[in-house]
Amino acid sequence: MHRLLTLRHLVHTLIFVGIGLAAVLNVPFAGCAYLKIGMLRLVCPVGFLETALASHSVPWQLVPGFLCICVLIFVVGRAYCSWACPASFLGTQLRKLSVRVLPKSFTKPFSKKFGKAQRAVSARLGTGKGDAFALLAGLALGIVLFGYPAWSIICPVGLVSRGLIEGIVHHVLRWDLVLLLLPILISLCFRSGWKCACPVGTVRGLLATPNRTLTPLPDASACRNCSKCARVCPAGLDPIRETDPQLCTKCLQCVDACPFDALSLALLRSKKRNAPHV
């Protein structure tokens, strides 16, 4: 039942360890932000856009690598966000640790209260993915005007990657890890949490718009409408009705969580969805 979850944890752990090893061995692999393979420089799409906007020019040497990443996103959508992102890995591990170390009498009411506050704030503000794109566009304008890499300030992937590399190589804790509070605070405004404040996820979401692969497929005859899949979805989707490629991170938690095996993994989504009647 939870084979997908185990596999995802394994891939995550390998990537996290890989970032640390690359830092020690001096391999140019900065938290999935940059990897040089021969002549090809694979670069994070946000890093590419930020460089272009800040320098008011096209960094041509990065264009082939950027296009390769775009093709990858077209093929597997936002899978990076749940299968490889070091910030997402760190968040999961911290959550697990807090459940183990802190008393349940504290963690349960806290997560309940945070979830409740998040739903109340996002419902009041009526924020959606359009607002996440607007936030990103505002920062992009700031980068053009001031030539300062503003996306990096709130980018959890960059903050965690830099913190990890600095910690392993120089044994120091970077002060800018405190900036992780920014996306956490912004996350209060969105039903899909801190991922909405992540420029990497948002840009990948935009590029993933035409993606149609690896989606949860509901089986109308088996589904009992228990909504468990919707409750576990970290992107705030209801997988039996919508699989928005801009938001779905292919984590497949919904497939794992369904108690009636009514969700399966479709390699290619067809236009007609076999959703159950309510």
Reduced to 3 DSSP states, what percent helix, strand and coil does the chain have, rounded to the nearest 5?
60, 10, 30
What is the phi-psi region of residue 31: left when phi exceeds 0, alpha when psi lies from -120 to 50, beta otherwise?
Answer: left
From the CB of 202, what's the least distance to ligand SF4, in Å?
A: 15
From the CB of 245, what's the least distance to ligand SF4, in Å?
A: 9
Name residues contacting ligand SF4, limited to 200-239 (CB under 6 A): 216, 218, 223-229, 233-235, 237, 239
Q: Pick the closer one to ligand SF4 by CB: 188 or 233.
A: 233
**Part of the chain binding ligand SF4 (CB under 6 A), chosen from 21-29, 89-97, 174-182, 244-252:** 244-252
Please give the angle made by the CA atoms of 239, 134 and 86, to the nearest 5 degrees: 60
**Part of the chain binding ligand SF4 (CB under 6 A), chosen from 122-130, 166-174, 175-183, 240-248:** 240-248
Q: Are the C-beta atoms of 56 and 49 separated by less than 8 Å?
A: no
Residue 1 contacts ligand SF4 per CB under 6 A: no
CA distance 207 to 69: 10
Residue 110 contacts ligand SF4 per CB under 6 A: no
Contact letters (x/-) for ligand SF4, 254-273, by CB under 6 A? x---x-x-xx----------
Q: Are the C-beta atoms of 22 and 161 separated by less than 8 Å?
A: no
Q: Pick the closer one to ligand SF4 by CB: 158 or 218.
A: 218
Q: What count of Cα atoms within 13 Å lies in the side-chain half-sphere of residue 6?
A: 3
Q: How many CB atoms lie within 10 A of CB 90?
A: 19
Site residues (CB under 6 A) for ligand SF4? 216, 218, 223-229, 233-235, 237, 239-240, 243, 248-254, 258, 260, 262-263
